[in-house]
Structure 1
Amino acid sequence: MYSRKIDLDLEGIKAEIIYHHFNDIEIKTFLLSFDTRRRVLSTLEGFKEVKFVGNHYNPPQLWDFVHNNKKSYEEKIYTDLGLNLKDVAMLYTGANIDNISIKTEEYKNVKISACVTAGVKSNAQRIGEDKAGSIEIKEGEFKSLGTVNIILLTNASFSDGAMARSIITITEAKTIAFEDLNIRSSYNPEIQATGTGTDNIIVVPGLSFGQKITYTGGHAKAGEIMARVVTNSVKEAILKQEKDLK
């Protein structure tokens, strides 16, 4: 197991990609480590106080195993990384972590960064128009299909409302990237995709920076910057992943 440092100009956060193995197959984890616990918002787990946020990649040859053995697989990777499940908010992807895109903008000392991996080949969809594949995924099961995972970081303090509103802004920005790249539905190529069926987001605010930000919609500077870094990161991540698959 070894790691590669990732440059991320946000105080109190260390970023790295960790290369490790499961059954002699290489797996990869993008891991953010915090000097102090952060209260984050994850579309997988809701609000959670954590020391780490991650995005974990397992390759296609492991997908069936992971789908049927989620708990044992998670236990192995957390043991490898020396992490406790309660201290981590993790996302999962079938997109190569090495194709991560990170974009940052700053306005009046407020920094906002988006860290994105994106695969769109297998399950891009136009939500509400493409038919759902199931009523609800069974607890303890998941598949790492084409997925857009977005980790949004800032040095500014966000209210809970601002964190929740960020999910809308980020989702709208992701959809703009799909439109700009003309990503079509995997199920009906005649229609424009709005995302994939497994996209997820984690919002990581700062501990304190001036006045707490309470609104992150399109009429706020924070929302404007957030949308721009997300759109640009999603577009770059999709293009990097597609190039890797050729």
Structure 2
Amino acid sequence: MNELLLQLRVLPSEYVCLGTGVDMDNVAYAEESYRDLWVAAFTTAGVKGNAMRAGYDAATKYEVDGEFLDVGTINIILITNASLTDAAMARALITITEAKVAALQDLDVRSSYNQSYQATGTGTDNVVIVSGNGIKVTYTGGHAKAGELIARAVLESVKEAVKKGGNYA
């Protein structure tokens, strides 16, 4: 990937890469808006082999010099026209995570390691937030309209991505 981007003359400071084994035909998209504000979530989800419940399941991978094998992940890319402050972007990570967990609970995705636990993620999940140049937003928690829109878009896109992948019980 780095070689390709160097050939395209894209600097490392100008891109972010997410890895997944999910077929990109199964990417899910959801958008929410209110007045002059919109958010969109693009999600891929592979949960069949390594869904887990954080804090309950033991890790099965040990990283050595950046190398380990993984079989699934949930990647969420959230894009908004709002100009998010650093604090709003940091809080959006919590809102996104809460919505992802709610989607997994709604679908009753179970831990791959202990079926008595509901999964909270895969252990390799990633989030990218792309802020826009629109209205300034300083808070993205659940009591704010921006947080509500983020949560709704992520909830819908995670549910759709898991279903599209056909990889949950």
TM-score, normalisation: structure 2: 0.91
User: 1:74-153 residue pairs with structure 2 within 5 A?
Assistant: 74-78=1-5, 83-134=10-61, 137-153=63-79
Q: Which amino acid aligns with 2:46?
A: G
Match of 1:227 in 2: 151
User: 1:176-195 residue pairs with structure 2 within 5 A?
Assistant: 176-195=102-121
User: 1:18-57 residue pairs with structure 2 within 5 A?
Assistant: none
* Whole-angstrom CA distance in 2 between matches of 1:85 and 1:222: 30
Contact 1:92 1:144 in 2 (8 A): no
Match of 2:160 in 1: 236
Q: Which amino acid aligns with 1:196?
A: T
Residues 130-151 of structure 1 deviation map (CA, whole Å, 9 limit, x = unaligned): 01124x5234325452100000
Residues 168-201 of structure 1 deviation map (CA, whole Å, 9 limit, x = unaligned): 0000000011001110000111211111110000
5+ residue gaps, structure 1, are 1-73
Cα deviation for residue 84 of structure 1 reads: 3.4
Q: Could you say which structure has the greater relative contact order, defined with CA pairs below 8 angstroms and 6 or more residues apart? A: 2
* Whole-angstrom CA distance in 1 between matches of 2:71 and 2:9: 26
* Whole-angstrom CA distance in 2 between matches of 1:215 and 1:240: 32
Residues 213-235 of structure 1 deviation map (CA, whole Å, 9 limit, x = unaligned): 11000100000110010000000
Match of 2:137 in 1: 213
**Secondary structure at 1:113 match in 2:** strand
Contact 1:125 1:187 in 2 (8 A): yes
Q: Which amino acid aligns with 1:160?
A: D
How many residues matched?
168
Residues 69-122 of structure 1 deviation map (CA, whole Å, 9 limit, x = unaligned): xxxxx3344357663333211111111111001111110111100010000011
Q: Which amino acid aligns with 1:242?
A: G
Q: Which amino acid aligns with 1:105?
A: E
Q: 1:180 to 1:129 in 2, by over 3 A?
A: same
**Secondary structure at 1:164 match in 2:** helix
5+ residue gaps, structure 2, are none
* Whole-angstrom CA distance in 1 between matches of 2:164 and 2:48: 13
Q: 1:226 to 1:138 in 2, by over 3 A?
A: same
Q: Which amino acid aligns with 1:141?
A: E
Q: 1:137 to 1:116 in 2, by over 3 A?
A: same
